[in-house]
Amino acid sequence: VIGANASRLTDIVRLAPHVQEGQVVGFRVNPGRDRAAFEALGLQPGDVVTDINGTVLDDPSQGLQVFESLGESTQANVTVLREGVPQVIVIDTTQLQTLQENRQ
């Protein structure tokens, strides 16, 4: 089940490196095909995720790996820039499981 969550991540969220002053400072997120799951995670379109569980997302090559690690835990502390203001949100990945079960 956990692996399925990680592989479904690309259906849920689309990532694009967010650059400020020539440096990657995080990843701008927008909903993928599964908008309900995106919203269940507490993300908003255009949020820039800068940190997941203390891992700073300043390397474009590791962004997807860190996001995939979300599928391996049930909860994550995520720092986002929302309209330029840093906020910490707690993502509960069990929400994805609940959504999945409700659809079957």
pLDDT at position 71 is 66
By residue count, the chain amounts to: 104
Tell me the per-residue pLDDT of 43-93, one tens digit each, with 9 for 90 and over: 999 999 999 989 899 988 877 777 777 767 788 899 999 998 999 999 887
Contacts of 43 (CB under 8 A, 6+ apart): 13, 29, 31, 49, 80, 89, 91
pLDDT greater than 90 at residue 12: no
Q: Is the dihedral of CA 100, 15, 39, 53 positive or negative?
A: positive
Q: In the numeric block, which tokens belong to residue 98?
A: 């609940």
CA distance 62 to 81: 19
80 neighbors 48 (Cβ within 8 angstroms): yes
pLDDT digits (tens, 9 = 90+) for 81-91: 999 899 999 98
